[in-house]
Amino acid sequence: MVLKIIDVVRLLEQQYGNSDWWPAETQFEVAVGAILTQRTSWRNAKLAIEALREKKMLTPRELLNTSCAEIEKVIRPSGFYKQKANYLIEFASYVELKYGGDISSMSRRSPEVLRQELIQLRGIGPETADAILLYALAFPSFVVDAYTTRVLRRLGLNAGETYDAIKANFESALGNDHARLANAHALMVVHCQKRCRPSPICVGCIFTDLCISKTE
């Protein structure tokens, strides 16, 4: 059987159902989380988000009214806090100046235009831009992260050679279904956290019969 993206996603859905991934209270908080989780675990990013919430620094205006040094101190648990403080300030300025501080108004623009705008900001690459589009703004923009590429590689499924090719192939396989794309990405994360870890737990894995990398 030649494994396809849709087969992988169906098996993940059968196994794990709907994931409650990326719980957040506001769209801006989701975007802040997408920046803070770069190069660290979600657990560390969450600690930083909780600290920002406690200090009432989770709106563009509140962040811009806070000194960079104070933001660095508060987001320290996320690691790379000096760079990330600057990234947050740049993103908050963008939302404030271009969208009047209201991230929801970004939804009126096309995802293609927004993606280009986001990628031009410091600290926002394709993966972070897609996480903001998918989870904060509910656009059908698949996120290709290290978890997804790990599962694909281990399964021996060639879904494309580049970030954009893999993203396009997932979007083509799952259609313009934002919720399904978001869940598919979330389930890749869940699967890698539960089983397909750096040292995988293959016994009992849903992919055992299909995976070229399974271990005993």
The pattern of x and - marking residues 49 through 88 that bind ligand SF4 according to CB under 6 A reads ----------------------------------------
Work out whether 11 is an interface residue with ligand SF4 (CB under 6 A). Answer: no
User: Total residues contacting ligand SF4 (rule CB under 6 A)?
Assistant: 13
CB 123 within 8 A of CB 35: yes
The correct pick among 140, 176, 196, 199 for binding ligand SF4 (CB under 6 A) is: 196
Work out whether 205 is an interface residue with ligand SF4 (CB under 6 A). Answer: yes
55 or 214: whose CB is closer to ligand SF4?
214
Site for ligand SF4 in 94-153 (CB under 6 A): 151
Work out whether 207 is an interface residue with ligand SF4 (CB under 6 A). Answer: yes
Work out whether 35 is an interface residue with ligand SF4 (CB under 6 A). Answer: no
Work out whether 190 is an interface residue with ligand SF4 (CB under 6 A). Answer: no
Residue 69 is encoded by which pair of tokens? Answer: 């040094």
Rounded Cα distance, 191 and 3, in Å: 17
What is the closest distance, in whole angstroms, from the C-beta atom of residue 159 to ligand SF4 in the complex? 14
What is the closest distance, in whole angstroms, from the C-beta atom of residue 21 to ligand SF4 in the complex? 19
Q: Which residues bind ligand SF4 (CB under 6 A)?
A: 151, 154-155, 195-196, 200, 202, 205, 207-208, 211, 213-214
